[in-house]
């Protein structure tokens, strides 16, 4: 089936496929995206399919489905505590690009800079590993974290505090990054070493994101959660690429 689809212009396939899938999302009872979020997700999906085809699309699709699912974990308790995602987790344009701008740039880079394809594919997968790890760690921590503490001081703080971490959330985040890295490997975007680099990069970036949340986010009005998410995924992508380059240098 995929070979038949790939024989057609990938950009046309991207337009048609995303129109159908996001049309289904629009009429689904559970609102995963706002109306504006649907349009921006449509643009993102076209970019990913047009540049990376079905393998890249499966990675971002896996992120979207799992990320949307974990956002709803313990939703009643989180809403009662005032720490739930706004709109009951429905994603708007700011969420789409906060999560996927780095990945979209890596995908476009594959098209424009084919000589850097392996590194950009690694950055692509690492960016979504990082974001899914961060989302899962945050949502599981807010729902089930028994002891949450500020990453910079290790002082106990209420669940949902910016920069707070928990053992439950951290472990869940690692599991999530492993899962999506394996998807990236399974569809041929990265090799097994790339899986390890993505998991390590996601762990580094997720914890640095908590440091940013604890130290800088409250000081600057422009540093919204979505802006921090862009920094987070960018750190994850760059970290994975730097780790891979360092390993190659050591082994050569």
pLDDT score at 92: 85
pLDDT score at 5: 52
Provide the number of structural domains found in the chain: 1
Rounded Cα distance between 52 and 25, Å, is 22
pLDDT score at 8: 61
pLDDT score at 85: 57
Taking each helix axis from N to C end, the angle separating 117-144 and 167-186, rounded to the nearest 10 degrees, works out to 150
pLDDT score at 235: 97
| Reported pTM | 0.90
DSSP 84: S
* Residues spanned by the domain of 75: 2-251
Low-confidence ranges of the chain (pLDDT < 50): 4
70, 136 contact by CB (below 8 A): yes
pLDDT score at 80: 59
pLDDT score at 143: 83
């Amino acid at each position: 089936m995929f070979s038949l689809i790939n024989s057609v212009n990938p950009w046309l396939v991207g337009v048609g496929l995303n129109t159908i899938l996001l049309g289904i999302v629009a009429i689904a009872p559970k609102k995963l995206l706002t109306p504006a979020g649907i349009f921006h997700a449509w643009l993102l999906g076209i970019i990913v399919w047009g540049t990376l085809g079905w393998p890249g699309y499966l990675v971002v699709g896996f992120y979207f489905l799992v990320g949307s699912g974990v956002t709803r974990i313990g939703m009643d308790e989180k809403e009662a505590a005032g720490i739930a995602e706004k709109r009951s987790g429905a994603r708007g344009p700011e969420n789409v690009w906060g999560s996927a701008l780095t990945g979209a740039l890596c995908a476009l880079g594959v098209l424009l800079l084919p000589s850097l394809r392996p590194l950009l594919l690694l950055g692509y997968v690492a960016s979504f590993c990082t974001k899914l790890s961060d989302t899962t760690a945050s949502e599981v921590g807010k729902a089930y974290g028994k002891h949450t503490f500020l990453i910079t001081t290790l002082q106990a703080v209420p669940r949902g505090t910016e920069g707070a971490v928990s053992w439950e959330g951290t472990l869940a985040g690692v599991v999530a990054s492993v899962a999506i890295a394996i998807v990236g490997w399974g569809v041929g975007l990265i090799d097994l070493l790339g899986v390890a680099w993505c998991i390590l990069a996601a762990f580094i970036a997720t914890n640095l994101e908590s440091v940013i949340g604890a130290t800088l986010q409250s000081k600057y009005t422009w540093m919204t959660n979505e802006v921090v998410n862009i920094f987070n995924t960018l750190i994850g992508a760059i970290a994975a690429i730097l780790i891979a380059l360092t390993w190659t240098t050591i082994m050569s």
